[in-house]
A and B are shown apart, each in its own frame.
Chain A
């Protein structure tokens, strides 16, 4: 599904077809957006900065899951396990070998790639539900290994990690973190966008559409599936490594099933099959609990309900997910596209053909 666009725009050269950003409006709005992103940490307070960092951190994992679920169509319920794998690789290397950032990051990526292969192997035999269940099982196994490490080595509450050294100085300032995470997020998005229009990404979409046809077109289905798992879990594991450094603390409690559900929710709420959707979804899911809290404060209920904030969050989050699943299966991207359409066509209104999506 391409973005709606007014008429009068034609591509006249092949390079224009390859360009990620092609119209002048897109370029201008992207430039404005870049300026806003760059200026944000100098304007925002410490709390808003932390929120932005959390969103950026989540966006890397969400993009990774979007590649796997939204594009390649492979269901995974083991996302928190993969994040935990990256975080624990970092934590263990740091604790046992005092390894620097430049070692832990590639090591996490390698562990992620290996786990992706292991997580992906069931996908060669299983589909749909059964695949989801096998990734769920792997989640529990990774968490078990993590908690085994914690108890056996005596870090029963978790592993504390010092801030990483980048170019000779410790990365402890929130503003510096913002730029590191922004860089990571942009790198993940650009990598994914480029991968998706290349051979690999097109193969993923093909196996999502219909495996038999994809195979008939000469796509190696096992290879496409495994590559989707490996790429996605490598990216996720790197996000886990960044997560460990950003929090400065690794513990199995942080990687519960709920985290997996949150990431899946980012993909669903954002909108399947769209990188923009993954970004919008991560903004929505990360900010959601804070919005609830703010709403409670605005209603003057914060004191009465302070003990049950997490329960309210759970309930509201579940409700939001249900509402999206039932009423807007295309997610925030669907809403965004419809708003664009509305403005493009105004004062006329488009009525979608019945049966079209």
Chain B
């Protein structure tokens, strides 16, 4: 039972992070490798706003969520729009460079010791029993947030005007632009939403386990989840996260704890060999030989 809860929590973490990869890839065909850093930036944003609005935890949460959204827009506005039309490698490298820049800047701004934003918000992390297993409040919040985020994204993409524009831009940018859709706005929105969900994941993770530089690794490990599910499918990201988290928790429990960093990538490799476009991805998207 505890194993099942662990898998659920880890899967929620991966799913919440990997929907950022999927959003950006689906809309603008750019793979971002700075997502782990952006996620951490969201967590530091929470820390900063918690110390700014001490005593008003809800205001602090809202402020940090807004900051995460704004950071996403800023990343696109300052850097990524220059990469439209460049080669795949150039865009990926730009995100890598951005990641390094952010990592350095975050250490400069916040230092290297572990921070606990939850304490600063004035809340404590209880562990509550759940049918024979235990789950911390922050983890529960993470699972619920993940469900809410996915429900929101599905509704947004299906029903709202901007969501439909976003899908159109992802399907065929040229046609979308000819129909009068401003691609830069759509791309910026995708970056904003991705950073927002990633930042949310970072904040909740930081509330649960403390905020330190190893958070970046989790961001990178969530990437295989997106790819296993199919890089352009949100549903795929959800399923992929469940697969990766299941494999990771079970292998760590039954085989070797050292495996934890490598399991997602082994699953990823297996997937690339068998079905490179992922479980739910569209086949023709893959630039195949």
Which residues of the partner chain A approach B104 to less than 8 Å between Cβ atoms? 310-318
- Surface stretch bound by A, among B49-57, B165-173, B233-241, B268-276: B268-276
- From 105 to 132 in chain B, residues with beta carbon under 8 angstroms from any chain A beta carbon are 105, 107-108
A129 sits at the interface (CB 8 A)? yes
Are B265 and A141 in contact, with the CB atoms below 8 A?
A: yes
Are B272 and A144 in contact, with the CB atoms below 8 A?
A: no
B4 sits at the interface (CB 8 A)? no
Partner of B288, one of A125, A143, A144: A125
Are A319 and B101 in contact, with the CB atoms below 8 A?
A: yes
0/1 string, A122-140, CB within 8 A of B gives 1: 1011111110111011101
0/1 string, B96-107, CB within 8 A of A gives 1: 111111111101
Are B261 and A315 in contact, with the CB atoms below 8 A?
A: no
- Nearest Cβ on chain A to B166's Cβ, whole angstroms: 20
In the bound complex, CA of A88 to CA of B276 (Å): 30
Main secondary structure of the interface of A (DSSP, over half): helix
Partner of A122, one of B79, B90, B272: B272
Are A268 and B289 in contact, with the CB atoms below 8 A?
A: no
Contact of A125 with B82 at beta-carbon distance under 8 Å, contacts A133-B227, A140-B265 already known: no
Partner of A315, one of B101, B224, B227, B265: B101
B94 sits at the interface (CB 8 A)? yes
Question: Which single residue of chain A is at the shortest CB-CB distance from B89?
Answer: A75
0/1 string, A286-315, CB within 8 A of B gives 1: 000000000000000000000010111111
Are A126 and B93 in contact, with the CB atoms below 8 A?
A: no
Contact of A322 with B269 at beta-carbon distance under 8 Å, contacts A125-B288, A125-B289, A314-B101 already known: no
Partner of A137, one of B96, B269, B288: B269
Which residues of the partner chain B approach A188 to less than 8 Å between Cβ atoms? none
- Nearest Cβ on chain B to A64's Cβ, whole angstroms: 17
In the bound complex, CA of A130 to CA of B96 (Å): 16
In the bound complex, CA of A126 to CA of B272 (Å): 8
- Nearest Cβ on chain B to A353's Cβ, whole angstroms: 19
Partner of B289, one of A148, A211, A318, A322: A211
B262 sits at the interface (CB 8 A)? yes
Contact of A122 with B273 at beta-carbon distance under 8 Å, contacts A127-B287, A211-B289 already known: yes
- From 231 to 289 in chain B, residues with beta carbon under 8 angstroms from any chain A beta carbon are 258-259, 261-262, 265-266, 268-269, 272-273, 276, 286-289
Interface size on A, residues (CB 8 A): 47
In the bound complex, CA of A71 to CA of B98 (Å): 25
B88 sits at the interface (CB 8 A)? yes
Which residues of the partner chain A approach B215 to less than 8 Å between Cβ atoms? none
A163 sits at the interface (CB 8 A)? no
Question: Which single residue of chain B is at the shortest CB-CB distance from A73?
Answer: B89
- From 36 to 88 in chain A, residues with beta carbon under 8 angstroms from any chain B beta carbon are 69, 75
B10 sits at the interface (CB 8 A)? no
Are A314 and B94 in contact, with the CB atoms below 8 A?
A: no
- Nearest Cβ on chain B to A159's Cβ, whole angstroms: 17
In the bound complex, CA of A129 to CA of B92 (Å): 8
- Nearest Cβ on chain B to A313's Cβ, whole angstroms: 7
Are B258 and A147 in contact, with the CB atoms below 8 A?
A: yes
A258 sits at the interface (CB 8 A)? yes
22 contacts between A and B (CB under 8 A): A122-B272, A125-B288, A127-B288, A130-B272, A130-B287, A132-B92, A133-B223, A133-B227, A134-B272, A138-B269, A140-B265, A151-B258, A257-B220, A311-B107, A312-B108, A314-B100, A315-B103, A315-B105, A318-B98, A319-B97, A322-B98, A326-B79
Q: A257-B220, A312-B104, A315-B100 are in contact. List 13 more A-B contacts (CB 8 A).
A: A122-B273, A126-B286, A127-B287, A129-B88, A133-B31, A133-B223, A136-B265, A141-B266, A148-B258, A265-B97, A314-B101, A315-B101, A322-B101
